[in-house]
Chains A and B, each alone.
Chain A
Amino acid sequence: MVLLQLDPFLNELTSMFEKSQEKGSVWVTLKRSSLKSKLQKRKLNAAGESIEYRCLIRATNGKKTISTSVGAKDHQRFQASYALILKAHMTALKKRERKDRKKSTEAEKKEDNSTSSKPKKL
């Protein structure tokens, strides 16, 4: 399990997606974690300090696993980059055909109406 910084993690994730295009899957898991052991947590709770939680993100292609942890400050930036990567790679999903068909038929109807609404005056 490789723990990376934010940007290297995003780069590795991108290459994972690219490599798994022909076959294979990409798993991404999100979990809240303080990255501290139970003992440390107990100590912090006893001392009355609040535990700082981070969002742990893991990604794997079945063979290689990478991970990173995101705090409250970085999460918005990470979110934006992550969304971009997903949008760029999830191209194999189907797009709704029904709406496209409806739109195209409506467009055809509109065109027919517009052409027929101009009567020829001689």
Chain B
Amino acid sequence: MVYIVSWDEFVDRSVQLFRADPESTRYTMKYRHCDGKLVLKVTDNKECLKFKTDQAQDAKKMEKLNNIFFTLMARGPDVDLSEVTGKEQIETQPVKKGRGRKQ
């Protein structure tokens, strides 16, 4: 089992793994309240990435990752992710330029 230390690396590699094989990649979360531990696992049945923590701040980061995975899985692996807004950018309209010029 590969435990990854850096959160960002875990996220990047998990998304990569999913995009490479969306059919068999799954994301698992295990929470133990009595131990105060949270473990995340992403695997495509060939490679496995894990992340463990006992920090509350990582729970917040995990929520963002949950959003990413929900979007990827429900809409498809080709969705363009902008992690700030957390949703795909394909549907957003481009900013209108050059309309408000009064000279």
Contact = CB atoms under 8 A, between A and B. Distances in A.
A9 B25 CA distance: 22
A91 B32 CA distance: 11
Contacts of A31: 25-27, 73
A5 interface: no
A94 interface: yes
Given A83-B63, A87-B63, A90-B59, A55 B30 contact: no
Interface string A75-119: 110110011001101111111100000000000000000000000
B70 A79 contact: yes
A93 B59 contact: yes
A32 interface: yes
B83 interface: no
A55 B63 contact: no
Contacts of B35: 92
A94 B55 contact: yes
Contacts of B99: none
Which of B30, B54, B62, B73 has most chain A Cβ within 10 Å?
B73
Interface in A25-39: 25-32
Nearest to B53: A93
A45 interface: no
Contacts of A24: 32, 34
Interface in B34-72: 34-36, 38, 53-59, 62-63, 66-67, 69-72
Contacts of B8: none
B29 interface: yes
Given A27-B28, A83-B63, A93 B70 contact: no
A8 interface: no
B56 A53 contact: no
Contact of B30 (A17, A25, A54, A76): A25
B53 A83 contact: no
Nearest to B22: A32
Interface of A: 17, 20-32, 53-55, 70-72, 75-76, 78-79, 82-83, 86-87, 89-96
Given A31-B27, A70-B70, A94-B55, 13 more contacts: A28-B28, A28-B31, A30-B26, A32-B22, A32-B23, A54-B73, A55-B70, A55-B73, A71-B74, A79-B66, A90-B56, A94-B54, A96-B55
